[in-house]
Amino acid sequence: MTSRRKLGKSDAKEPKDIKESELELEEEIEEIEEAGEETEKPEEPEQPEQPSEETPGEEPEEKTRAVLPGDLIGTSEEYSPRNGTYVDKGNIYATASGIVKINTKDRSISVIPVTNTPPHIQVGDIVIGQVTDVKDSVALVEIAGIKGKGEREIVNADQAAIHVSNVKDAYVKELYYEFAPFDIVKARVIDLRNMRLTTVDKELGVMKAYCGNCRAVLKNDNGKLKCPKCERTETRKISSDYGTGIV
């Protein structure tokens, strides 16, 4: 209800408008409610059934704490560890991605795996991202998606790095020959804490690259990248799927 009051506030000087805007707003609210939100309208006694358990975000905020494997969730002095947890030196960690559940009665703590939560990046995941910067020893990548986990927003998406030692199965003379800013890359996650990626495998590497001269998309010409516009050639650590759009 707070949202209705807030939205009507701007029309406070003209009572007629308030009514109209409230009516409009109620229609909007109704639509929202039909989508499964909680309903509070007093003038409508028959409330639609609330699929509250299926609606994400309806649980009180303080009770839902999403964690990743290895996240510290408590100490064995505070809680007794249950499912989805392990203890190391008195600290309790999550073994699974999920929601922390604390039972205040027996002071137990567990992690409930939640498949409905947005995907977390995990070691071994193949990710798609864009190169944002290339330095002497690392290429920085902004992760945009995880293979097989849909187009959903990623919880722990962050900047990742491909170290010069993880580029390919051969000597890398200059990282600038392997990646360039704006390149779209496919890489595998090898380290979560430092968000390190590798492109060593054949199918990993640059998926799409742009001409450093005219910005056109480079075409794969027998392992070399060629600009169809200005004919400049460039090198990259390309994926065997370069140009296919296949992730």
Q: Measuring CA to CA, which residue among 136, 143, 83 is closest to residue 110? A: 83
Looking at residue 2, its amino acid is T
CB nearer to Zn ion: give 33 or 183: 183
Task: Tell me: does residue 221 bind Zn ion (CB under 5 A).
Answer: no
Task: Tell me: does residue 214 bind Zn ion (CB under 5 A).
Answer: yes
Q: Which residues contact 203 (CB under 8 A, 6 or more apart)?
A: 186, 239, 240, 241
Task: Tell me: does residue 213 bind Zn ion (CB under 5 A).
Answer: yes
Task: Tell me: does residue 230 bind Zn ion (CB under 5 A).
Answer: yes
Q: Which residues contact 106 (CB under 8 A, 6 or more apart)?
A: 80
Task: Tell me: does residue 139 bind Zn ion (CB under 5 A).
Answer: no
Size of the site for Zn ion (CB under 5 A): 8
Output the smallest distance, CB 141 to Zn ion, in A: 23
Sheet with 224-226, edge to edge strand ranges:
219-221, 224-226, 233-234
| φ/ψ of residue 23, rounded to 5 | -65, -45
Q: Would the CA dihedral through 207, 213, 219, 224 be positive or negative?
A: negative
Output the smallest distance, CB 162 to Zn ion, in A: 24
Output the smallest distance, CB 177 to Zn ion, in A: 17
Of 16-24, 56-64, 200-208, 222-230, the window that binds Zn ion (rule: CB under 5 A) is: 222-230
Strands 184-191 and 108-113: unpaired
Task: Tell me: does residue 229 bind Zn ion (CB under 5 A).
Answer: yes
Task: Tell me: does residue 211 bind Zn ion (CB under 5 A).
Answer: yes
Give CB contacts under 8 A, 24+ apart, made by 51-56: 56/116, 56/117
CB nearer to Zn ion: give 112 or 230: 230
Output the smallest distance, CB 218 to Zn ion, in A: 8
CB nearer to Zn ion: give 26 or 234: 234
Give the interface with Zn ion as residue ranges (CB under 5 A): 211, 213-214, 216, 227, 229-230, 232
